[in-house]
Amino acid sequence: KQEVTQIPAALSVPEGENLVLNCSFTDSAIYNLQWFRQDPGKGLTSLLLIQSSQREQTSGRLNASLDKSSGRSTLYIAASQPGDSATYLCAPAGQNSGGSNYKLTFGKGTLLTVNP
């Protein structure tokens, strides 16, 4: 059974700092990994998707890396802004028990606060 751990659980930084969020997973047989952002009381917004054959993906100030063999992914946020404050969720996708689909398993998330 896939287990996903995100460290730290919470992080508070001053505006402008670069920061790294960590995600580890126990089963390396994944097809891809997505990073999501969730604002309080809202749904999930997809930030980046890394396929298992890729090492990293970039979008604007965000860069996500994947080391599938060691079961790790990181999300790097450059020049953080107060608008980046949210919960960030990591979700590797692996085959479900029936073999018919790719199942997402979520971590508990990292609550990021960027202070002005």
What is the rounded CA–CA span in Å between residue 85 and residue 76?
A: 14
82's CB contacts (< 8 A; 6+ apart) are: 15, 114, 115, 116
Contact map string, positions 11 to 50, toward another protein, x by CB under 8 A: --------------------xx-x-x----xxxxxx--x-
Span near another protein by CB under 8 A; candidates 12-20, 64-72, 78-86, 96-104: 96-104
Name the minimum Å distance from CB 67 to another protein: 16
Q: Which is nearer to another protein, 11 or 49 (CB)?
A: 49
**Rounded to 5 degrees, what are φ and ψ at 46?**
-75, 130
The upper half-sphere exposure of residue 9, i.e. CA atoms within 13 Å in the direction of its Cβ, equals 1
The residues binding another protein (CB under 8 A) are 31-32, 34, 36, 41-46, 49, 51-53, 89, 91, 93, 96, 98, 100-104, 106-109
